[in-house]
């Protein structure tokens, strides 16, 4: 099946060149512009002459309603996007005090809000497929700022920050990067240096290593082609988590013995206010783990009153999956060395996405405190069980050893000689 790419602002210049290159490589190409329909139709003819299926849509991606209409047409013609190239943008040259509010708003909408709009509409389909690429076109002025281009510089700086943040949010899907140093302040010239931060992730640590080696080879090849030198610095790495059914069941059994927290009207009202601040098209739980089990999904849907509860105050039935879990901490590495299991408690509102401000805002509240007290009780009770029931401990050990034999044992993702980056230090 052919992949589909959307290139915004593709009636001329960089956008046109990108769109035609994708057409040349056999992609379904969606081209877009806000006004230049004649030029857009010409690019469509050029793309089709290269053998590509091409959809041309006039839409101002800085306007949310236009963007929704654009993506509806993409869905109708090609389905979900595989690649999004946010290229649309405008400039305004002049003194800041000469720029009126409407000009500022128009530029920010075209250059920055457009990126948000398109990413917001493209990401759900990419997450569903566990595949996708987003390319955001920024500028050196977003790093150093340009005199008489304050608005443009601000918008491109925002694009850079948005790109880095979104890369972290979408990290589980594959290889992600952010340009942390464009190499200098001068436009339209080859800079003396450049710095790129890559995040390589996969379900298995060994697969991530293979991807990393691929990235290294690409970087080396690029340096050879440009007659430059390349220096690599490994920052950090962690392994996927190996589940242990025996310990998970033990924790769940202790969960069932611990009373659920009781929430005050004030706590529920606070949680509800945070839920209301999250824009969701449906009531499906963020990061929904219930996709592995229809029965589990139905239980959660019913217990959460179809996702309308501000705080989920119920115990989920035990569900075991052999599917490895990607790790963001050294818990994954620990699970390769000793039998390990983890638990989850409701420390934040039901609709708060991970790594969101709604999530963080609950960290010091009584909601989180009650959940952590419950977790502490469960862990303490499970520890007592392991001391009093050596057969359970042995069963957990037997399961762990069987998996290590099957998986080939622990593999450390951090290479020898790697040095941690000191906070605040230039990478």
Q: Which residues are catalytic?
A: 152
First-to-last alpha carbon distance for the chain, in angstroms, is: 40
Which segments of 339-365 does DSSP mark as H helices, in order? Answer: 357-361
Q: Is 391 exposed, middle or buried (0-12, 13-18, 19+ CB in 10 A)?
A: exposed
CA–CA–CA angle 204, 284, 273 (5° rounding): 115
Q: Angle, nearest 10°, between helix axes 390-407 and 366-388?
A: 100
Q: Is 19 exposed, middle or buried (0-12, 13-18, 19+ CB in 10 A)?
A: buried
Contact of 317 with 299, CB cutoff 8 Å:
yes
Rounded Cα distance between 58 and 69, Å, is 10
Give me the residues paired with residue 57 across strands.
32
Q: Which two tokens stand for residue 192?
A: 């003396």
Q: Is 308 exposed, middle or buried (0-12, 13-18, 19+ CB in 10 A)?
A: exposed
Contact of 87 with 15, CB cutoff 8 Å:
yes
Phi then psi for residue 57, to 5 deg, are: -130, 125
The owner of tokens 């500022």 is: 104
Going from the C-alpha of 167 to that of each of 146, 162, 407, the distances in angstroms are 26, 8, 29
Instruction: Provide the pairing of β-strand 195-200 with 175-181.
Output: antiparallel
Is residue 417 classed as helix, strand or coil in its secondary structure?
A: coil
């Amino acid at each position: 099946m052919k992949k589909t790419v959307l290139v915004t602002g593709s009636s001329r210049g960089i956008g046109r060149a990108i769109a035609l290159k994708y057409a040349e490589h056999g992609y379904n190409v969606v081209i877009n512009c806000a006004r230049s329909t004649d030029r857009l139709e010409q690019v469509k003819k050029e793309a089709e002459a290269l053998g590509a299926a091409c959809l041309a849509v006039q839409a101002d991606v800085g306007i949310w309603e236009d963007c929704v209409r654009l993506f509806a047409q993409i869905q109708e013609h090609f389905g979900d996007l595989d690649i999004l190239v946010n290229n649309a943008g405008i400039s305004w040259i002049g003194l800041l005090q000469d720029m009126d509010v409407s000009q500022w708003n128009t530029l920010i909408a075209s250059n920055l809000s457009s990126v948000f709009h398109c990413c917001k509409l493209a990401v759900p389909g990419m997450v569903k497929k566990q595949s996708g690429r987003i390319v955001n076109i920024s500028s050196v002025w977003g790093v150093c700022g340009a005199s008489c281009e304050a608005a443009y510089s601000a918008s491109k700086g925002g694009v850079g920050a948005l790109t880095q943040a979104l890369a972290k949010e979408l990290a589980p899907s594959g290889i992600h990067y952010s340009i942390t140093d464009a190499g200098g302040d001068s436009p339209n010239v080859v800079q003396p240096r450049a710095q790129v931060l890559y995040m390589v992730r996969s379900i298995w640590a060994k697969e991530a290593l293979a991807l990393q080696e691929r990235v290294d080879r690409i970087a080396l090849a690029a340096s050879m082609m440009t007659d430059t030198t390349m220096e690599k610095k490994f920052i950090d790495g962690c392994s996927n988590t190996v589940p242990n059914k025996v310990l998970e069941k033990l924790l769940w059994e202790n969960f069932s013995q611990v009373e659920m927290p009781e929430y005050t009207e004030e706590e529920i009202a606070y949680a509800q206010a945070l839920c209301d601040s999250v824009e969701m098209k449906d009531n499906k739980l963020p990061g929904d783990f219930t996709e592995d089990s229809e029965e589990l999904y139905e239980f959660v849907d019913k217990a959460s009153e179809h996702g309308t509860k501000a705080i989920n105050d119920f115990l989920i039935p035990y569900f075991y999956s052999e599917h490895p879990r990607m790790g963001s901490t050294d818990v994954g590495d620990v699970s390769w060395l000793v039998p390990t299991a983890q638990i989850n408690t409701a420390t934040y509102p039901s609709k708060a996405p991970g790594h969101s401000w709604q999530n963080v805002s609950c960290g010091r509240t009584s909601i989180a405190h009650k959940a952590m007290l419950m977790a502490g009780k469960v862990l303490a009770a499970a520890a007592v069980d392991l001391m009093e029931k050596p057969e359970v401990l042995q069963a957990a050990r037997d399961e762990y050893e069987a998996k290590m034999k099957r998986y080939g044992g622990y593999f450390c993702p951090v290479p020898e000689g790697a040095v941690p980056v000191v906070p605040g230090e230039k990478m």
